[in-house]
Amino acid sequence: MRLPKDDLLNIFKETHAFLEGHFVLTSGYHSPHYFQCAKVLQYPRYLHLFAGEIAKHFEYSEIELVIAPAVGGIVVGTEVGRLLGARTIFTERENGVMSLRRGFEIRKGERVLVVEDVVTTGGSVSEVIGLVTTSGATLAGVGYVVDRSGGSVKFDAKTYSVLDMDVVKFAPGDVPPWLAEIPVSKPGSRGLQ
């Protein structure tokens, strides 16, 4: 049974993880809303709740490896891996390209679950999926805490999100005047070195 959407959204609001203002998302889109999952995942009860929902959905998928893109997916990916008893690693950007570093590897034939905190366009997840498939592993699924696309982003695998929301977003050239008047914030982690 899925957790009620209103209850989930209240958790994000209470932990100041659902922000309002003018944000430039990692995808480049502009939005009056932003999910800062790190703010909600700092609380063990919510981390366990959200990761538990993802793990429960994939508990019979024989997951051997959980992989998450840095930075946002690491915390939830690690907890999902712990709950599934699976080895857990993360990817990082190196010169703008999603890569395996720190001696991490994806083994051929391994059943892999990709985990992310927030999906808007699915770009980072798609890059991680590319690493999984080129390694000869099997993509067993994709799980994430928040689907900002309202279900429009699709992956060629079993998917599950804890919270689905179609959050308003605008292409850089289509930002409405009411949003353009608000100072811009870019809270994402894409530019971290």
pLDDT tens for 122-172 read: 999 999 999 999 999 999 999 999 998 888 899 999 999 999 988 888 999
Q: Which residue has the higher pLDDT, 1 or 58?
A: 58
| pLDDT for residue 39 | 94
Q: Which residue has the higher pLDDT, 187 or 48?
A: 48
Domain for residue 99, yes or no? yes
Residue range of the domain that includes 63: 43-166
Structure pTM? 0.88
Dist. CA 94–CA 101, nearest whole Å: 9
Contact call for residues 185 and 24 (beta carbons, < 8 A):
yes
The domain total for the chain is: 1
For residue 22, the SS3 value is strand
For residue 3, the SS3 value is coil
Domain for residue 157, yes or no? yes
CATH number of the domain at 75, please: 3.40.50.2020
| pLDDT for residue 189 | 54
Calculate the alpha carbon distances from 77 to 33, 41, 118, 168, 174 in Å: 24, 11, 12, 26, 34
- Element housing 163 (H / E): strand 159-164
Domain for residue 4, yes or no? no
Dist. CA 111–CA 129, nearest whole Å: 12
Q: Which residue has the higher pLDDT, 120 or 174?
A: 174
- Across 83-106, average pLDDT: 95
Domain for residue 116, yes or no? yes
Domain for residue 16, yes or no? no
The amino acid sitting at 161 is S
For residue 37, the SS3 value is helix
